[in-house]
Structure 1
Amino acid sequence: MTCHPAAFAARRTRLLEQMAPGAVAVLGTAPEVARNADSDYPYRHDSHFFYLTGFPEPEAVVVLVAALADKPAQALLFCREKNAEREIWDGFRYGPEAARTAFGFDAAFAIAALDAEMARLLADAPAVYYPVGRDRKTDMQVKRWLDAVRAQSRGGVTAPDTAHNLLPLLDEMRLFKDDTEIATMRRAAAISAQAHARAMKATRPGMREYEIEAELLHEFRRNGAQSPAYTSIVASGANACVLHYVANNDEIKDGDLVLIDAGCELDGYASDITRTYPANGRFTPPQRALYELVLAAQAAAFEAIRPGQPYQSVHDAAVRVLVQGMLDLGLLNGGKHGTVDEIIATKAYTRFYMHGTGHWLGMDVHDVGQYRDVHTPGKPSRPLRPGMVLTVEPGIYVRPGDDVPQQYWNIGIRIEDDVLVTNDGYSILSAGAPKTVDEIEQAMAA
């Protein structure tokens, strides 16, 4: 992974500035998880921890001590010691001293020293910040540290009398991407766009969905991405009407549409792209009609993205276009379901479009950050601001029904792009993946 020590240090400084003077923040990374027997799942760091440190190893904790009038702020790392024998089996370890230098910490210690150092660092601190309630192990660990401080009370030492949840502060910071993050996310989206283009060109009727998944994974790794950002969806035919279909086992048939929802993770940051295309390279008229509707809904959603606009307006714009299209194509009946406004009010459209039009994107594919302004009465949708990154992913999913025109049965379509909010509007990070009907048909013909 690419290391940007100055960027991580700047984030730590921003967090320290939000803490009470002299307070202590503590945050551990994710544990290793056993897959079966003596095999572990591939290790993936905790996103909040990595956001502050860039440190990729397990068994690590970051501690931040806010400045006082006579004491500068401190950023400390606790990690595994160097171990020549374990490095033969498991690979390189930084060890505290090399980690301190490489990642820009004021000091670093062996993870075995954490308990003793925390009892010292928390002595006379006014408050402690940590992920309150996230897991029992962390809660009990902090309790032990506080008990150890209180045991020193006869010497005049006091323990923090206030505990704050650290995660809301970090969530709000992570919602706004800095230049380093945006550059990484652009690259991740570009890799994923290439993978979608590769998958389209490789698809032929008679292949299995997992063969197309393999094309995606090949392109991710070939370009340096460490892993998929989530389990890839390769859904052909009726499978595309299952929102989270991940079996990826069926045969792709002539006349099927193929819906791929897949993105890579690069240096800790996710991409998330969906494309839908015909297995044989040519849309049928009913497929094309629904596809053009979803594409128009996405275009309307894009136009709602600009600083100051409520986040909810992106979804509302897409829904209005989709509902009008459902009426025009006969999926909904005006006499039965009413006008566009009435259908939106009753949510009758959710039979064919049952999810939101997007989500925040960042280190997690469904990234952190509030969607509503929780500090305003009524909790309205929060306004979009430059530096936010969101997905825009309208869709339509038509299951068979007596009141549904048969030519649309078992067609599932979703079109998804990754979008950065800019000072004057938006920038589509994933524009490299073919999307219009002509682009798709030309790419597959080639």
Structure 2
Amino acid sequence: MHKQNRKAFIEKMGNGGVAIFASAPPVKWNHDTEYLYRPDPNFYYLTGFEEPESICVIAPEHSKYQYILFVRPKDKQAEIWNGKRVGVKDARRRYGADKVYPIEKFSEKIGKYLQGAERLYYTLGSNEHVDTEILSLFTQSVRSRIRSGKGFDTLVDPSPILSELRLIKNETELQRIQMATEITGAGHAAAMKAVRPGMYEYDLEALVESTFRMNGAGGPAFPTIVASGDNATILHYTTNDRQIEDETLVLIDAGAEYGRYCGDVTRTFPANGTFTEAQREIYQLVLDAHYAIIDGIRPGVSIDEPHQKSIELLTESMLSLGLLKGKAEKLIEKEKYRQFYMYRIGHMLGL
């Protein structure tokens, strides 16, 4: 999968380019503990490599090596504390690199892969340490080009190319997203079956996330939202510490991550198993819009069309409920619906 991803990226690069991708840096929790590591999505998409302190170089026109990795070497003492490392030798065997170096050799070795390049592809802002090195290389190259006519003088962000490539999923990616979504559904179903007034939001959070893990997920794809009552009006509420009251609704926004690919589902349900009359009326209007929008999705439909349809349907619903007054067209033109619907209908899924 990753080899095909690199091939597709190289085709988009054109002649005269070299690309450098840095792994995401670890993030400290406190002085001797780090947050659970997650690789940079673009880096993972091209390499499949999941360790920090690593760099990928893609040099399509190099005479000998076109795919180069710089990785952490094996370190017996460090591995006692933080787990096994792939190391230089196994990185080449397992990840298909033409050449692998210890990460400490990057500054020394990178020059040979930049010779003859006209453009350097690199995304600034995701790894401060590597940014500094890249900007230094760029400055040196520009000066060299002024003096001798040799060296690259263009720095290009590869993110737009990769964003476009990542829109279209291959069969492996589709299988992982399918599995992530099925596991996500299992977590939601477990919460719906278990919920009772008097429980705490974090009880359901723990149940959802343990269901993810027991079904093979690596964990949650993002911080799980369990919002009861008016907490559900906070779009990215993650405190999850309120006691769930009778006759309130519970909103869960949660997704499992499987093979680094993400599920993402939001559902709302009554804490005691029965909607009040007002809750049912609003829920039904939203559900009707939900099915109408899904019915209109097919190849060739732009991502904005379902969203625009949702605005039209939900604005009509707000009028029927008395939340808005006036003509639907004028209300949409003035974005009055945003008092109650300030989000978009959906977003892409993947890494």
Structure 1 residues 160, 214: closer, same or farther in 2, change over 3 A?
Answer: same
1:163 is paired with a residue whose SS is: strand
Q: Are residue 30 (structure 1) and residue 30 (structure 2) matched? A: no
Structure 1 residues 57, 135: closer, same or farther in 2, change over 3 A?
Answer: closer
Task: Give the corresponding residue for 1:122.
Answer: 114
1:259 is paired with a residue whose SS is: strand
Q: Are residue 19 (structure 1) and residue 13 (structure 2) matched? A: yes
Taking the aligned partners of 1:258 and 1:150, their CA distance within structure 2 comes to 58
The one-letter code sitting in structure 2 at the alignment partner of 1:14 is A
1:330, distance to aligned residue in structure 2 (A): 2.3
TM-score w.r.t. the length of structure 2 is: 0.94
CA displacement, residues 296-333 of structure 1 (integer Å, 9 cap, x when unaligned): 1111221232222222111111122212222222222x
Taking the aligned partners of 1:78 and 1:134, their CA distance within structure 2 comes to 17
Task: Give the corresponding residue for 2:53.
Answer: 59
Q: Are residue 234 (structure 1) and residue 222 (structure 2) matched? A: no
1:146, distance to aligned residue in structure 2 (A): 4.3
1:161, distance to aligned residue in structure 2 (A): 2.4
What 5-or-longer segments of structure 1 have no aligned partner? 1-6, 364-446
1:151, distance to aligned residue in structure 2 (A): 9.0
1:72, distance to aligned residue in structure 2 (A): 6.7
Task: Give the corresponding residue for 1:47.
Answer: 41
Match of 2:294 among 302, 308, 317: 302
Identity %: 41
Taking the aligned partners of 2:176 and 2:79, their CA distance within structure 1 comes to 29
Task: Give the corresponding residue for 1:213.
Answer: 205
CA displacement, residues 154-193 of structure 1 (integer Å, 9 cap, x when unaligned): x979321222111111111112211111110000010010
Taking the aligned partners of 1:105 and 1:134, their CA distance within structure 2 comes to 23
1:213, distance to aligned residue in structure 2 (A): 0.5
Taking the aligned partners of 1:40 and 1:164, their CA distance within structure 2 comes to 32
CA displacement, residues 261-294 of structure 1 (integer Å, 9 cap, x when unaligned): 1111222111110110011111122111111111
Q: Is the 8 A contact 1:150 1:157 kept in 2?
A: no
Match of 2:90 among 85, 90, 98: 98
The one-letter code sitting in structure 1 at the alignment partner of 2:329 is D
Q: Is the 8 A contact 2:200 2:243 kept in 1?
A: yes
Task: Give the corresponding residue for 2:333.
Answer: 345
Taking the aligned partners of 1:266 and 1:60, their CA distance within structure 2 comes to 22
CA displacement, residues 40-63 of structure 1 (integer Å, 9 cap, x when unaligned): 111111111001011011110000
Match of 1:189 among 172, 181, 197: 181
The one-letter code sitting in structure 1 at the alignment partner of 2:121 is Y
Task: Give the corresponding residue for 1:270.
Answer: 262
How many correspondences in the alignment?
Answer: 350
Q: Are residue 108 (structure 1) and residue 96 (structure 2) matched? A: no
Match of 1:355 among 338, 343, 349: 343
CA displacement, residues 126-156 of structure 1 (integer Å, 9 cap, x when unaligned): 2211114656544421133346668989x97
Match of 1:202 among 185, 194, 211: 194
Higher helix share: 2
Taking the aligned partners of 2:314 and 2:116, their CA distance within structure 1 comes to 59
1:260 is paired with a residue whose SS is: strand
2:7 is paired with a residue whose SS is: helix
Task: Give the corresponding residue for 1:255.
Answer: 247
Q: Higher relative contact order by CA 8 Å / sep ≥ 6: 1 or 2?
A: 1
Q: Is the 8 A contact 2:119 2:153 kept in 1?
A: yes
Matches for 1:137-156 after TM superposition, within 5 Å: 137-146=129-138
Taking the aligned partners of 2:61 and 2:329, their CA distance within structure 1 comes to 55
1:347, distance to aligned residue in structure 2 (A): 1.9
CA displacement, residues 385-414 of structure 1 (integer Å, 9 cap, x when unaligned): xxxxxxxxxxxxxxxxxxxxxxxxxxxxxx
Match of 1:82 among 57, 74, 78: 74
The one-letter code sitting in structure 1 at the alignment partner of 2:33 is S
1:21, distance to aligned residue in structure 2 (A): 2.4
Task: Give the corresponding residue for 1:179.
Answer: 171
Taking the aligned partners of 1:243 and 1:156, their CA distance within structure 2 comes to 56
Taking the aligned partners of 1:73 and 1:16, their CA distance within structure 2 comes to 14
1:345, distance to aligned residue in structure 2 (A): 1.6
CA displacement, residues 219-261 of structure 1 (integer Å, 9 cap, x when unaligned): 1111121121111111111111222211111111111111111
Taking the aligned partners of 2:74 and 2:246, their CA distance within structure 1 comes to 57
Answer with 232-241 or 138-147: which moved more.
138-147
The one-letter code sitting in structure 2 at the alignment partner of 1:262 is A
CA displacement, residues 355-410 of structure 1 (integer Å, 9 cap, x when unaligned): 111122211xxxxxxxxxxxxxxxxxxxxxxxxxxxxxxxxxxxxxxxxxxxxxxx
1:43 is paired with a residue whose SS is: coil
Taking the aligned partners of 1:350 and 1:159, their CA distance within structure 2 comes to 51
Q: Is the 8 A contact 1:149 1:157 kept in 2?
A: no
The one-letter code sitting in structure 1 at the alignment partner of 2:331 is I
1:90, distance to aligned residue in structure 2 (A): 1.3
What 5-or-longer segments of structure 2 have no aligned partner? none
1:298 is paired with a residue whose SS is: helix
1:81, distance to aligned residue in structure 2 (A): 0.7
